[in-house]
Amino acid sequence: MKRYVRLIITAVLILVVAGFGYKLFVGTDQASACGVGAQGGENYVPQWRDSGDPVARRPFLTKEQVVEVVVKHVKKLNPNLEVGRINDAGSFFEAEILSKDKEVVQLVGVDKESGKLMLIN
């Protein structure tokens, strides 16, 4: 009887170790590839509106929504910067990020359909 109990416990331990080993080395989660500390950071694209369903179409972003997205992103990165003019550039909005001296530091684009931020220059 003791022999069977020892055999069962050993088999269970081997399965547990194999399961943890598989999860650790093979079954890593691709969604955590850009987690905290990785290049790009956890919130690199803060406003991704895609539901994943190609049939579900959402209305395009308005200029007011784009201002909100860009201000939120800029204040998170550097509170000393501010948002300048926002221009309609066809399929996306083009927003200026200004320094305290009102100089253009960066141009970013915001996709009208998805809300995804992209660097322009």
Question: Which pLDDT does position 8 carry in this prediction?
Answer: 92
pLDDT (tens digit, 9 = 90+) per residue, 71-107?
988 888 888 999 999 999 888 999 999 998 999 999 9
From residue 69, give the alpha-carbon distance in Å to each of 4, 36, 72, 93, 103.
63, 21, 5, 11, 21
Question: Which pLDDT does position 42 carry in this prediction?
Answer: 47
Question: Which pLDDT does position 12 carry in this prediction?
Answer: 92
* Lowest-confidence pick of 21-30, 99-108, 112-121: 21-30
CATH number, domain 43-119: 3.10.450
Q: Please identify which residue in the block is written with the tokens 């969604």.
A: 31
